Structure 1
Amino acid sequence: MSPFGRSFADGDRIEISGAVIRLKVHARARRVSLRLDRSRREVVATAPSPRRLGEAAAFARDRIDWILARLAELPSALPLAPGARLSLFGAEVVLGVGAGRARLVKPDPDGPGQILAPGAGEPYARAVQRVVKRHALEELSALTAIHARTLGAAQPKIALTDARSRWGSCKPAVGVQPAVIRYSWRLALAPPEVSDYVVAHECAHLRELNHGPRFWALVEALVGDPAPHRQWLRLHGARLHAVGATEAS
């Protein structure tokens, strides 16, 4: 029995001093650890096996000051609700309510664009997110095609994720199977030069499956100095994960 007087299962959530802690089993983990999940605005306590979840919960309790400090650093959540404003690849859009299929209305010279979706609450938010993802897939695919062509590489398959800690990943081609590049759909919310950098970064992996000097030379040839874009993601990436989140009650 754990010090909490109960046993735990993978996926259980506990509350300590107002902070939500999610318990997770990860078979590859070597030890108990804590991780901040910015998009869900909670801390994940990971254990190598179910029998050590009580230990993970106790570790979270012992580190509650660290947990509260990390949660306090998170930017305010931006729920996807009517009236909210987003920036999609640098273009401002306002969320509104409209009948029929959720859709993006491109901006005109007189004002911002709109995302119109039916309903309210969580169904509305999911519909808006689908629109943003469709737009992200279109734009990121187009950028990928440009950079891959510049590098003389075959066009990879493109997929979207909502990864918590990576903005992109590249799986190399195997035999007749093409390479696969996965991007966080939240790159649609970043400045266009930042999302373009991430695309260039992953496309450079089509030629160099490492982060050595030749890899960075390819990135610089595609988008110039990557340092400002990397810094932007370090400083402001949490803001992208706050979009669509809700404040903890």
Structure 2
Amino acid sequence: MNLLGRSVLTDGDRLDVDGASVRLKVDRRARRVSLRLDRTRREIVATAPSIRRLPEAAAFARQRAQWIAERLAELPDAAPLAPGLLIEVFGRPVRLEAGAGRARWIEPADGSTPRIAAMGEGEGYARAVVLVLRKKALEVLSARTAHYAARLGAPMPKVSVADAKSRWGSCRPGLRGAPGVIRYSWRLALAPFEVADYVAAHECAHLLELNHGPRFWAHVRALVGDERRHRDWLRAEGARLHAFGR
């Protein structure tokens, strides 16, 4: 509290604007107060160049209540997980079903639609399904990473998956004999295989080039061809993937 008894706004605070939650953010690189929709986190961000100007950012957000409501209405609906739902995993239809015991992926011997069986209800069921999807994402993306690292003549990096909010993948090349590290968003399992495959090629190219310069893109295109359609797909559909299971 300040000396006048009013709350002091800080970076990360949230305010209610006609029922919508707005996150306040300080970005010292910003030149002015601004509002934006973070489609990945499904929230509005009010940015100020300094803590001193956060009240100005808050006031600006309140003035733009209608704009905020319109932007949030553009977001895809949340997609809760429940038995009976048909989803796509790396482009393949997969049926969710109720089951006993540990959540698992079921690959029918007759080649019919795969299934994910999990027990529980509501959020518990969703967490169990996501655990299976994370394992499938790690399996497939590890295999594609091994494939592209070998094609590039780079040592196989360590691979992991996480629920990243701002990146589909990240790469830390190996140093002094230690293996590199590539981390992917598990939500790539919800994208078409060729899109997830492009991300694997992209991150493997960073094992050789720590930038997005001409040589980097030459490596990517040698692996997967024209990458622009995959990047466009992620820009158009990324928010939907992040809404999955919420």
Q: What TM bracket, shorter-length normalisation? A: 0.7 to 0.9
3-state DSSP of counterpart to 1:87: strand
Name the aligned partner's letter for residue 67 of structure 1.
I
1:87-236 to structure 2, matched below 5 A, reads: 87-107=88-108, 109=110, 111-236=112-237
Q: CA deviation at 1:43?
A: 2.0
Check 1:25–1:147 CA distance in 2 against 1; reply closer, same or farther (3 A cut).
same
- 1: CA distance, partners of 2:210 / 2:45: 30
Aligned-pair identity in percent equals 63
Relative to structure 2, which stretch is displaced further, 158-167 or 49-58? 49-58
Report if aligned partners of 2:159, 2:181 keep a CA contact under 8 Å in 1.
Answer: yes
The answer for the alignment partner of 2:80 in structure 1 is 79
Relative to structure 2, which stretch is displaced further, 115-124 or 184-193? 115-124
Check 1:35–1:181 CA distance in 2 against 1; reply closer, same or farther (3 A cut).
farther
Q: CA deviation at 1:142?
A: 0.5
Runs of 4+ in 1 over 6 A off after TM superposition: 48-51
Q: CA deviation at 1:129?
A: 1.0
Report if aligned partners of 1:37, 1:164 keep a CA contact under 8 Å in 2.
Answer: no
3-state DSSP of counterpart to 2:212: coil
RMSD: 2.6
Q: Greater CA radius of gyration, 1 or 2?
A: 2
Q: CA deviation at 1:15?
A: 2.3
- TM value normalised by structure 1: 0.85
Report if aligned partners of 1:24, 1:45 keep a CA contact under 8 Å in 2.
Answer: yes
Name the aligned partner's letter for residue 44 of structure 2.
V
- Is 1:70 aligned with 2:71? yes
Q: CA deviation at 1:22?
A: 3.1
- TM value normalised by structure 2: 0.86
Relative to structure 2, which stretch is displaced further, 6-15 or 129-138? 6-15
Check 1:229–1:244 CA distance in 2 against 1; reply closer, same or farther (3 A cut).
same
Runs of at least 5 residues in structure 1 that lack an aligned partner in the other structure:
none
Runs of at least 5 residues in structure 2 that lack an aligned partner in the other structure:
none
- 1: CA distance, partners of 2:233 / 2:108: 26
- 1: CA distance, partners of 2:12 / 2:83: 31
Q: CA deviation at 1:152?
A: 0.3
